[in-house]
Structure 1
Amino acid sequence: MKLKEILKHVPDKKVSNFKNYEISGITYDSRKVKENYIFVAIKGTKLDGHNFIKDAIDRGAKVIFVERELLLPHDITQVVVENTRETLALISSIFYGNPSDKLKVIGITGTNGKTTTSYLLKSILTESGKKCGLIGTVMYEIGERKISSINTTPESLDIEELLSQMVEMGTTHAIMEVSSHGLDQGRVKFINFDAGIMTNISSHEHLDYHKSFKNYLKAKLSFFGRYLAESKKKKKIGIVNRDDPYSKYFINELKRNNIEFITYGRDKKSDVKLIDFKISEKGNYLKVESGGKIYEFSTPITGRGNIYNAVASISYAFFEGIPVEIIKKGLENIKSVPGRFEFIDEGQPFSVIVDYAHTSHSLENLLLSVRDLNPKRIILIFGCGGDRDRSKRPVMGKIAVKMADIVIITSDNPRSEDPMDIIRDIEKGIGWLRRKKCKIIPDRKEAIKEGIFLAEEGDFVVIAGKGHETYQILKDTVIPFDDREEARKFIRERYGRG
């Protein structure tokens, strides 16, 4: 594609040393630059792409997008714009041929439940004969190809490339988790969504980035009020969990922009009403009412949160007109979601669950779900991430000792923080009388071993926080670490099966 074809769509720009290069690619990472690339200098939270322009030019970049005019070699075309991140979204969409126009794009936002809802919905759509791609926290799926995820919502360039590959593979539907970071930074701008699903909102999440709950909520609301509203798709739908205390704000955004919407939940005003459910180790059973008719569904995925995730998926399927029998098969086909209420079974006489719960709301829901399974005792192993919202740490500590019988406080991803400082923050929410049920074991591997070896028949060992993750971040080092594999290893060690 010629540079002129890209630049004609870019507003309010100042171009220097224009040469109509044949553009072979775009990147915002100087290490990925190849000959005749566009390099877009983005200011991140830690690094500024403007500091890597020389490296980009040395690697073959011929066009540089910047936010301030610089002195560059005469053969380099410089494009000055007000916001390079937003411009990246625009030129990426153009370069890849606006792939979202050729797909049905479903975005899922909320504090918890995005991943499981995306897996459930993908299973239903696949059962109905649709070819689905997935962009989310666990992985990116394009046909049979699976790519480990870096961010829940990747940078705009990466999204457009993934969507383009989906189009090439004959994909019909793209299901995307949409994070508050992605919304605030405009990573989903110029993606034409067909649908938006809101799962739930928790008040203690990502405050390290957003600084206040008001800002966090504002970012989430922008998915419906800005991005879905700006979508050029003709038939759009918003799907909202009416039971969530903040649902009215999302509904108001949809009404304000004249977007059709469906609500779900136990609230009597819900369009898809949850009227009954049962939770067991074998899975979830739920009964819903819609359009005056009652339907029964079941799924092998268990847990309270997954009741709502299933109803959200069912609601979208109803909108698409998918037959009930197909919806049932889709829900029944999905056996598990990586790191989401995932049972670890090595034949031991107690249960082990690995879950991604890393917020106060998700931890409480997780432990309530485990209580529904009538455990003899709950042995909880958890920590909190470093360089993240510190205010949720004592709240999670309070929930842990209230709902579990034995609590082992350990490290999560401490990042640049001292693990013991994080643990002390968690302890602030734990009263002195309840501290006797706590053990402090900063080494996560040793904490998991302790939990496994403490367990007796009928107990539930719950390992929370990291879920599907296969690494642990310790200062500037990333080491291989998988809660599921560690649990399996120690079960085998305990019972001599290693």
Structure 2
Amino acid sequence: MKVKELIKNTKVVKSQEILNREVSGIFYDSRKVLPGGIFVAIHGTSADGNAFVQEAIERGASVVVTEKRDLVLPSGVGLIVVENSRKFLAEIADIYYHSPSKNLKIVGVTGTKGKTSTAMILKEIFEAASFKTGLIGTIQYEVGQRIVPSTNTTPESIDIQALLAEMVRAGLTHAILEVSSHSIDQGRIECISFDAGIFTNIASHEHLDYHKNFRNYLESKLKFFSTYLPASKKKDKIAVINIDDVYSRIFINTAREKKLNVVTYGLSRKAEFKAENFTFDRNGTSFVLRGKKFSTKLLGSGNLYNCLAAISTAVSSGISIDTAVSVLGNIKNIPGRMEFIDTGRPFTVVVDYAHTHRALEELLKTVRHLNPGRILLVFGCGGDRDRSKRPIMGKIAARFADRVYITSDNPRNENPNQIISDIYRGIPFWYKRKCELIPDRRSAIKSALSCARENDWVVIAGKGHEQYQIIKNIFYQFDDRKVVLELLKEINN
């Protein structure tokens, strides 16, 4: 494809020496540039792509896209100046891959909690209805039989378009995308033709390191329903909203103003998909929806809402409710989400991704409902992330757990001891005696396992499915689930 074909419908401030050049690929990471490629310099959260223009040229970039009007390039390297490089990247990515989203039924899932579980449940229902479905989410990207570990919940626009194009080539008909607030704010989902959007919930003290305040965070989530879903040229677009969320009315009104078909779910009597007779125990969750009895091994109120979101979307898309009943009965777990570890011991071990105060509270309340002997909680908070939630999470942990082992999560560039101190600061003095501060995560898990007695629950929170720990921007192999099994062998010996 020639450059002139890529840019003919885009807004370019200035260009030179480029129009008839053939494009070998589009890149935003200078380390991955191939000869004859276009390098788009975008502003990342920690780096500016303009700092890597020289490296991109050395690797063979024939055209550079930038917002800098005064950028000087070597002779023979083409230049395109644009007002918004991220938006431009999304536009040319869609053109380069021939607008694959137009050939797929695409559902976007956004919210603070429940995106991954909702997306994976919905994928199972679609597949059971004989819809070949791809997935782009927090845990992994799935294209047919090809599964790739995720790098971002919602990757960069060019990566999304490449995955969607691969899905089309593989004969898939549907795709489900987890849509993060970062991706909405940065325009990574620009030019994707969505058929439906799901709003799970929204909580304060989430991603404030990026959004700065809750209002910005809320507006970012709303933008999916006010801008990106309405912009799709698909017909009969659906907005599926959790009516029980305190901010649901804002999302419902926004969706209706944009002429979207609104579908609501929840426990409220006003919900179109209203769950009744909801109960759960150690063996799973059950509820009644539209006269049908649902049973699933997924535990707790959080998973009830995830199931309702998936069912509402599937049924509103023409799938029979009986198909959903069958699928939920066969789902055993979602990786790293209330995932039980088979230890063969008289106590229970659960690994969960809960890394916000609201998610942690919901997790611990769910476990408490199951009448454990004691709850032994291992958790920490991520570094280089919102610090204001740390004391809040400490207070919640100490309130709902019987023993608390405060440890490292992904400290990144922060001092792990400082993060732990921030958490500990929020714990009332009368709860402090139940807490231990153990910076090494493996040692903290070992302490909890060694302390566990019959009928106790060891709850390991924060990292869930992750198979690494980030310390000083270095990724070390670390999987809570594997570490548990390794430590139990050590304890035995």
TM-score range, shorter chain: over 0.9
Which digits, 9 at most, give the CA deviation of each residue in 1:77-135, with x for residues without a partner?
11100010110000000000000000011000000000000111011111111101000
Cross-structure match for 1:239: 240
Cross-structure match for 2:321: 324
1:384 aligns with 2:381: yes
Map 1:109-120 onto structure 2 (within 5 A): 109-120=110-121
Cross-structure match for 1:206: 207
Map 1:336-347 onto structure 2 (within 5 A): 336-347=333-344
Distance 1:427 1:346 in 2: 30
1:464 aligns with 2:461: yes
Tell me if structure 1 keeps the 8 A contact 2:2–2:19: no
State the secondary structure of the residue aligned to 1:61: coil
1:135 aligns with 2:162: no
Map 1:405-424 onto structure 2 (within 5 A): 405-424=402-421
Map 1:201-350 onto structure 2 (within 5 A): 201-289=202-290, 294-350=291-347
Cross-structure match for 1:18: 18
Distance 1:68 1:204 in 2: 35
**Further displaced range: 17-26 or 310-319:** 17-26
Q: State the shift of 1:3 in Å.
A: 1.1
Cross-structure match for 1:483: 480
TM-score (normalizing by structure 2): 0.98
Tell me if structure 2 keeps the 8 A contact 1:152–1:177: yes
Amino acid at match of 1:355: D
Tell me if structure 2 keeps the 8 A contact 1:304–1:366: no
Map 1:158-177 onto structure 2 (within 5 A): 158-177=159-178
1:452 aligns with 2:449: yes
State the secondary structure of the residue aligned to 1:472: strand
1:36 aligns with 2:36: yes
Distance 1:93 1:464 in 2: 38
Tell me if structure 2 keeps the 8 A contact 1:126–1:330: no
Distance 1:426 1:172 in 2: 46
Tell me if structure 2 keeps the 8 A contact 1:377–1:405: yes
Distance 1:244 1:322 in 2: 25
Tell me if structure 2 keeps the 8 A contact 1:304–1:368: no
Cross-structure match for 2:55: 55
Q: State the shift of 1:73 in Å.
A: 2.4
Amino acid at match of 1:172: T
Amino acid at match of 1:342: E
Distance 1:54 1:428 in 2: 46
Distance 1:140 1:473 in 2: 21
State the secondary structure of the residue aligned to 1:34: coil
Q: State the shift of 1:19 in Å.
A: 4.2
Q: State the shift of 1:9 in Å.
A: 1.5
Distance 1:180 1:308 in 2: 20
Distance 1:58 1:101 in 2: 36
Q: State the shift of 1:307 in Å.
A: 0.7
Distance 1:46 1:479 in 2: 21
Map 1:354-433 onto structure 2 (within 5 A): 354-433=351-430
Q: State the shift of 1:281 in Å.
A: 2.2
Q: Which runs of 5+ in 2 are unaligned?
A: none
Distance 1:476 1:265 in 2: 40
Q: State the shift of 1:470 in Å.
A: 0.6
Distance 1:271 1:393 in 2: 37
Tell me if structure 1 keeps the 8 A contact 2:12–2:80: no
Q: State the shift of 1:253 in Å.
A: 0.9
**Further displaced range: 317-326 or 417-426:** 317-326
Cross-structure match for 1:9: 9
TM-score (normalizing by structure 1): 0.97
Distance 2:9 2:328 in 1: 43
Distance 2:331 2:164 in 1: 24
Q: State the shift of 1:324 in Å.
A: 2.1
Tell me if structure 2 keeps the 8 A contact 1:125–1:330: no
Distance 2:176 2:392 in 1: 32
Q: State the shift of 1:60 in Å.
A: 1.3
Amino acid at match of 2:480: D
Distance 1:320 1:45 in 2: 37
Q: State the shift of 1:480 in Å.
A: 0.5
Distance 2:466 2:225 in 1: 30
Q: State the shift of 1:252 in Å.
A: 1.2
Tell me if structure 1 keeps the 8 A contact 2:343–2:349: no
Amino acid at match of 1:123: E
State the secondary structure of the residue aligned to 1:248: helix
Distance 1:317 1:140 in 2: 21
Q: State the shift of 1:493 in Å.
A: 2.7
State the secondary structure of the residue aligned to 1:278: strand
Q: State the shift of 1:409 in Å.
A: 0.5
Q: State the shift of 1:491 in Å.
A: 2.1
Which runs of at least 4 in structure 1 moved beyond 4 Å after TM superposition?
Answer: none
State the secondary structure of the residue aligned to 2:310: helix
State the secondary structure of the residue aligned to 2:62: strand
Map 1:138-157 onto structure 2 (within 5 A): 138-157=139-158
Distance 2:492 2:370 in 1: 24
Amino acid at match of 1:484: R
- Note the aligned Cα RMSD (angstroms): 1.0
Count of aligned pairs between the two proteins:
492
Distance 2:258 2:54 in 1: 45
Distance 2:89 2:12 in 1: 14
Distance 2:436 2:31 in 1: 44
Distance 1:276 1:399 in 2: 28
Cross-structure match for 1:189: 190
Which digits, 9 at most, give the CA deviation of each residue in 1:374-406, with x for residues without a partner?
111100000000110011111111111110111
Distance 1:435 1:366 in 2: 21
Distance 2:443 2:330 in 1: 36
Amino acid at match of 2:331: I
